[in-house]
Structure 1
Amino acid sequence: MVRFSSSRILFVAGIILLFMLMIVPGCSRDSGSAVAVTSKDDSHGTTDAPSMPVEVEKTPAIAQSEPELFAAAVYSPSVSKPHLRVAVLNGPTGLGMVKLMQEAKDGVSKNDYDFTLLSSPDEMVAQITSGAADIAALPSNLAAVLVQRTSGAIQLAAVNTLGVLSIVSTDSRITSLEDLRGGSISATGQGAVPEYALDFILASQDWQGADALSVEYKAQHAELATALIAGTVATGMLPEPFVTQVMLKRPDAHVVANLTEEWDKAVQGEGALVMGTIVVTRKAVQDDKQAVDTFLDEYKASTLFAATHVDETARLANGFMGMPVETARVAIPRCNITFAEGGKMKALVAPFYEVLFAANPKSIGGRLPDDSFYYER
């Protein structure tokens, strides 16, 4: 609000403005603005899922009366908000973000945001390395790889997803992980947590030689989900919400193995299966640390909303991500959406990185991240 030192100044200004409005009645008043929501791909692969909108317009403000316009003109100068570009994966990360996306669309978020929805971790890496994003959702191991690749240009700001992987099959003969010894499956997540988690679990159970599992990796979750639904692939490893999508479309599909449970048995409580993280560029922190901290507050509230308001989150997921409402409604409680930052985040991630490093140093970029990798408010 603008404050004036004299009521006389305010009165004179009001008279002048009112006179101008009376003689120029045709002036337009367009108060709308837009929040960019772009998508690189429809990652759900179902024919009944609408495609992702390229741009979502804010709802125009209701036309103001002349006195209201007068008051707004005098007392409410526009105030620009901090602007952040956020890259989000279609999946659990996206589900936890949709409430914040709606708030940004409605103009009630504390920051202005451009959200880009992507379908693969490689696209996320490109967003960060090219400088196209200030904040990105990345698989946890890729966050560690990327800090090495960018010479420390990013920091880990939050954990947002724990274990969400399952092996699903439409083959009635396969009912447990043991039934897959010496067999084959399709999967997604090559070069990311899914591949390394599966390799670690199988190695802990001595699956070698003739017992080795042959894994054919698909580029995108939607591609594998579609193949399982169509019956061209019998068994595959997928994250939620794609597991739910397959099981809703194929009643004969069943979960063969929950990889979170298999991981817990393998590590014997020495580290959670941390799937997803939020990274922030150091440049964004240097430019406006308060805006980054505000994002973390708003994103945390959005993840909590997803966990406690499933039906509304499902509707938002349909609007922003093209995900069928029923799929989202069933999947959200299974998605292990969480939020951890600071010391709690490090306590989750550091032991996980140690497990991955011992199993395959390449999985986290060849060395363990140091303390400067972990963002602190």
Structure 2
Amino acid sequence: MEYRTLGKTGLKISRMGFGGIPIQKIDEEGTKKLLHAMAEKGINYIDSARGYTVSEQYIGYGLEGIRDKFVLATKSMSRTKEAMAADIETSLGNFRTDYIDLYQVHNPSMEQLDQVIGEGGALEALMEAKAAGTIGHIGLTAHSTAVFERALELDWVETIMFPYNIVEQQGAELIHKCAEKNIGFIDMKPLAGGAIEDGTLALRYVCSNPDVTVVIPGMAEIRELDENMAACSNAAPLTEEELAKMDKVREQLGNDFCRRCNYCAPCTVGINIPSVFLFAGYLQRYDLADWAKERYSTLKVKASACIGCGKCEPRCPYHLPIREKLKVCAKDMGE
């Protein structure tokens, strides 16, 4: 396994890490087995989040006795100082540890980022925790290229997490800027939320980009761990056959995959279309129905509110049949 320095943090981490979403489907013992296997194979980066239901707790159980073998990262959607301070304490308790290596501001909008960095914002709690030694470093995650670009200019941001894969390349130039600015880049959704079926091909593509510091595929089984590690450890250049397969994946998903570019906005009735598709994907591809519906319930306007005006579709650079996809999401989500 190749190791990289995670940007300004100075942390030495494995090129492949562990994404903590899918372990919600298993249990504490299964997570412990997986983490011990990771430790034996030299994989030392773990990603979780306050919003991933039991993920932090399962990981904390699995880390008993081997905490020092891992760089531990999590994230919170809290935007105020008080709420972020509470989430940090909760994460420390869940992980059964007295420090977390990387704590990230989780997917803020531009307006929410203003709140985070303003007076009484979440950044104050993160800075205080960093000074106290309960967290080591501060990062940010995003789905919006506008937020990504802004984060590159914030001096407190030591790492940035963003989707990047065979079909989602809207952040490629910004990922390169991360490398230029010595900001660690953490690649989420390397399999496009499960839409790309060939995991080996997907991970080979991501790892072929030298600007990606670490890729974090979600895993719940030893079999997945072994397959993903084999793909990420293969440093051979991409073959013509692999490149042809990637083109085919783009062709197949090109008419049926949301890249969350948000060009479809504004919706006539206020539907956050990319978020609807994102949450529905957790149900449709990850089989995480309860968690997906819980997140979907936070949306002020549901997919069923679509009036079929069609104004969004000409704006979509990928020509998605948005209205039809919203109908499917409304049916799957129950509203």
TM-score tier after normalising by the smaller chain length: under 0.3
Max Rg structure: 1
**RCO greater where, 1 or 2, for CA within 8 Å and sep 6 or more?**
1
How does the TM-score come out when normalised to structure 1? 0.24
How does the TM-score come out when normalised to structure 2? 0.26
